[in-house]
C-alpha cells in the first residue's frame, strides 16, 4: 500500500493496488493522479449519487476461493439509467470489476489474450457473436458518461469520460466489450449474487436509508416540474418518473429533479393496485413504485406493476384479462439462443416456443429503473415449461430475459389487502395464450358463412325442408378446415 498526501487538502490518500493510477480524496473529492513517485491534482471528481446499493468501499468477499476488497467505484449514466462499476483488489494483487445494476451483479476481469471483435456500430441486441471461440448473445449496447467516482481506479476518469461498452451473455457467462479506447478490451466473467460472494462489510438498511436520504429522502411525493401533480415514488430505487397526469418524463438520478421530455395530459387510468401500495411477499417488504399498460399487435392490453424492496430488489406483477403472474429478470440466460428457435434451454429445462409479438407502451406512471415513455415498442418472444414462462424482450439497444409464474388472484388481494381494487382474477392459465390473438381463418370463415346464409335466405324460406342440409354442409365445409388450421397455428 502506498499512502500519499492529497495535493489539495493534505489528507491521506491510500493506493492499495499498484495498478491504480488515480484515487479520489474522500475529504475534498480531488482527483489524485499517481505518476511515478509524484502525485498531481487533476481537479475535482463529481460525487457519486447515493443509491440503495449495499456495496461500499471496503466491502470484502470471496470468489472461487480468492478473497477480494472493494477499493473503488465509477458511476456511469446512459440514456436509460445508471449503474455502478466497483473496482476489486484480490489478495493475490489481481483486479476485477463488480457490475451493479438494479440489483443484478456480474464479476468480470480483463482477458489478456487476443480476440477478433466485431465493430461497435455493428453490434445488435439478440444477435450472436463468436468471442474467444464461443457464441455469445448481445444483451446491451450503450454509450455512457462517467458521472461520479470514489476510491482508486486503474485509469484516469473525470468530466467528459465516456464509455462505449457492449454486454454479451451465454448462460451464466458474461462478457463486456469495452470500446472506450482505440484498442477494444475484453472482460470475461459471470453473473453472481452477493450471497454467493459471501460479502462482508455491506451497508445495512439503516445506513442505506440515511445515505440515500441526504439526496432523495425516503418514500415521499414529488411535485411534477411540468404540471405540478404529486407523484409518489421511492427515492433511490429508480432513475426516471412518469407523471400520471401529463406523462412528462422526469429525471431523478440527480440531486435536483428535472423534466427530460414533456408529455400530454391524459385521462386518469384506473389500476387494480394503486401506486405506492405496499405488501409483504415471501417475507420481503415491497412497494409498487411504477405501473404501465402495454398493448400487443392486435390491440389487447394488460397492466404491469413494478415492485421494489430494499432487500427484495425489483420484480413485476402482471395483470391480464386471463389472470395474474409474477416475473423477475433472469441473471442466467438460455444457452445457445437463436432468434425464432422452437425451444430454449436453461439448465436441463426445456422451454417450448409459444408466440412472438410486439408490445407497445400505451400509458405509464410512477417510478422506473430505466427510461420509459408512451410509444416505446418492444419485440417479445415467449416460451413455456409447465407453470413457468420465459419472455425475451428486445429493443434497439437492449435485450432481457425474464421468468414468470402464475399467481392466484386471491393471493394478490391477500398481499395488498384494502389497497387492491377491483374483482379477483384467477391465476394465469398454464395453457392460455397472451392477451387474445386473432384467429384470421376463422374470422374469414365467419364472414363467408354469414354472406352465404344471406344470399340463400330466400331459397331457405321457400323450400326449407329440401335445402337446409345443403347449407349446413356448406357451413361445415368452410368453417371446420379454417378452425383446424388456426389451431395448428397456435400449437
Cell of 480: 371446420
Exposed, middle or buried, 128 (CB in 10 Å: 0-12/13-18/19+)?
Answer: middle
Nearest to 291 by CA among 310, 312, 268: 268
Alpha-carbon torsion 103, 337, 131, 167, what sign? negative
pTM of the model: 0.75
Q: How many helices (H) and strands (E) does the chain have?
A: 5, 30
Identify whether the C-beta of residue 29 lies closer than 8 Å to the C-beta of residue 45.
yes
Cell of 460: 331457405
At residue 338, the pLDDT reads: 82
Count of C-beta atoms within a 10 Å radius of residue 20: 21
Nearest to 399 by CA among 141, 148, 191, 210: 141
At residue 437, the pLDDT reads: 41
DSSP, res 133: T
The number of angstroms, rounded, from the C-alpha of 336 to the middle of its chain's C-alpha atoms is: 21
Identify whether the C-beta of residue 39 lies closer than 8 Å to the C-beta of residue 32.
yes
At residue 78, the pLDDT reads: 85
Strand partners, 48: none
Boundaries of every domain in the chain: 46-192, 216-419, 440-490
The number of angstroms, rounded, from the C-alpha of 63 to the middle of its chain's C-alpha atoms is: 25
At residue 96, the pLDDT reads: 96
Exposed, middle or buried, 477 (CB in 10 Å: 0-12/13-18/19+)?
Answer: exposed
Taking the C-alpha atoms of residue 309 and residue 284, their distance in angstroms, rounded to an integer, is 7
At residue 400, the pLDDT reads: 94
Taking the C-alpha atoms of residue 367 and residue 233, their distance in angstroms, rounded to an integer, is 6
Taking the C-alpha atoms of residue 405 and residue 324, their distance in angstroms, rounded to an integer, is 9
DSSP, res 317: E
Packed helices 464-490 and 440-455: angle between N→C axes, nearest 10 degrees: 170
Residue-level pLDDT, tens digit, the chain, 491 residues: 677 788 788 787 877 777 677 688 887 777 777 665 655 555 666 667 767 788 999 999 999 999 999 999 998 988 777 899 999 999 999 999 999 987 789 999 998 877 789 999 999 999 999 888 888 999 999 999 988 888 999 888 766 788 999 999 998 898 999 999 888 999 999 989 999 999 999 988 777 766 665 433 345 667 777 777 877 776 666 678 888 878 888 777 665 555 445 555 555 688 999 888 999 999 999 999 899 999 999 999 999 999 988 778 889 999 999 899 999 999 889 877 887 889 999 989 999 999 999 999 999 988 888 888 889 999 999 999 999 999 999 999 999 999 999 999 999 999 999 999 888 877 666 555 444 444 444 455 555 544 555 555 555 445 545 555 556 666 566 656 655 555 444 44
Identify whether the C-beta of residue 293 lies closer than 8 Å to the C-beta of residue 379.
no
Taking the C-alpha atoms of residue 417 and residue 273, their distance in angstroms, rounded to an integer, is 10
At residue 475, the pLDDT reads: 52
Nearest to 3 by CA among 32, 27, 28: 32
Nearest to 395 by CA among 351, 354, 435, 361: 361
Residue that has been written with the C-alpha cell 390473438 in this structure: 437
Measuring CA to CA, how many Å separate 129 from each of 132, 187, 273?
10, 15, 42
At residue 468, the pLDDT reads: 56
Nearest to 150 by CA among 254, 13, 8, 38: 13
Measuring CA to CA, how many Å separate 333 from each of 109, 173, 326, 401, 491?
20, 9, 18, 7, 25
Cell of 178: 469495452
Please list, residue by residue across 105-127, b when 16 or more beta carbons sit within 10 angstroms of its beta carbon and e when fewer do: bbbbbebeeeeebbebeebebbe
Amino acid at each position: 500500500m502506498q499512502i500519499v498526501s492529497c495535493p489539495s487538502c493534505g489528507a491521506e490518500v491510500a493506493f492499495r493496488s499498484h495498478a491504480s493510477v488515480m484515487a479520489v480524496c474522500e475529504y475534498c473529492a480531488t482527483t489524485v493522479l499517481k505518476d511515478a513517485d509524484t502525485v498531481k491534482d487533476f481537479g475535482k471528481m463529481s460525487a457519486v449519487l447515493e443509491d440503495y446499493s449495499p456495496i461500499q468501499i471496503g466491502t470484502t468477499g470471496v470468489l472461487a476461493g480468492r478473497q477480494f476488497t472493494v477499493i473503488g467505484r465509477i458511476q456511469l449514466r446512459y440514456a436509460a439509467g445508471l449503474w455502478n462499476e466497483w473496482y476489486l483488489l484480490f489478495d493475490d494483487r489481481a483486479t476485477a470489476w463488480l457490475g451493479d445494476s438494479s440489483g443484478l451483479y456480474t464479476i468480470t476481469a480483463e482477458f489478456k489474450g487476443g480476440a477478433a471483435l466485431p465493430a461497435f456500430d455493428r453490434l445488435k441486441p439478440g444477435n450472436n457473436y463468436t468471442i474467444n471461440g464461443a457464441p455469445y448473445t448481445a444483451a446491451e449496447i450503450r454509450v455512457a458518461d462517467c458521472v461520479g467516482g470514489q476510491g482508486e481506479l486503474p485509469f484516469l476518469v473525470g468530466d467528459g469520460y465516456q464509455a462505449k461498452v457492449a454486454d454479451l451473455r451465454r448462460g451464466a457467462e458474461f462478457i463486456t466489450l469495452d470500446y472506450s479506447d482505440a484498442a477494444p478490451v475484453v472482460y470475461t466473467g459471470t453473473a453472481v449474487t452477493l450471497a454467493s460472494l459471501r460479502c462482508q462489510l455491506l451497508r445495512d438498511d439503516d445506513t442505506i436509508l440515511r445515505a440515500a436520504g441526504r439526496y432523495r429522502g425516503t418514500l415521499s411525493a414529488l411535485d411534477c416540474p411540468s404540471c405540478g401533480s404529486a407523484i409518489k415514488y421511492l427515492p433511490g430505487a429508480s432513475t426516471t418518473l412518469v407523471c400520471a397526469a401529463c406523462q412528462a418524463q422526469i429525471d431523478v438520478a440527480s440531486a435536483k429533479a428535472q423534466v427530460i421530455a414533456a408529455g400530454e395530459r391524459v385521462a386518469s387510468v384506473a389500476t387494480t393496485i394503486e401506486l405506492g401500495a405496499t405488501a409483504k411477499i415471501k417475507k420481503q417488504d415491497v412497494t409498487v413504485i411504477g405501473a404501465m399498460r402495454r398493448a400487443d399487435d392486435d390491440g389487447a392490453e394488460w397492466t404491469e406493476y413494478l415492485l421494489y424492496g430494499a432487500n427484495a430488489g425489483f420484480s413485476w406483477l402482471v395483470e391480464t384479462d386471463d389472470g395474474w403472474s409474477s416475473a423477475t429478470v433472469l441473471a442466467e440466460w438460455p444457452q445457445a439462443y437463436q432468434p425464432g428457435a422452437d425451444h430454449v434451454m436453461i439448465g436441463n429445462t426445456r422451454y417450448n416456443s409459444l408466440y412472438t409479438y410486439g408490445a407497445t407502451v400505451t400509458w405509464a406512471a410512477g417510478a422506473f429503473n430505466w427510461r420509459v415513455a408512451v410509444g416505446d415498442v418492444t419485440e417479445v418472444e415467449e416460451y413455456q415449461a409447465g407453470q413457468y414462462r420465459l419472455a425475451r424482450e428486445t429493443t434497439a439497444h437492449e435485450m432481457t430475459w425474464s421468468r414468470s409464474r402464475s399467481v392466484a388472484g386471491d393471493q394478490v388481494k391477500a398481499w395488498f389487502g384494502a389497497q387492491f381494487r377491483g374483482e379477483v382474477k384467477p391465476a394465469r392459465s398454464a395453457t392460455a395464450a397472451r392477451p387474445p390473438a386473432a384467429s384470421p381463418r376463422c374470422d374469414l370463415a365467419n364472414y363467408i358463412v354469414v354472406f352465404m346464409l344471406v344470399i340463400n335466405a330466400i331459397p331457405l324460406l321457400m323450400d326449407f325442408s329440401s335445402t337446409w342440409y345443403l347449407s349446413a354442409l356448406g357451413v361445415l365445409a368452410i368453417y371446420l378446415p379454417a378452425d383446424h388450421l388456426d389451431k395448428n397455428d397456435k400449437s
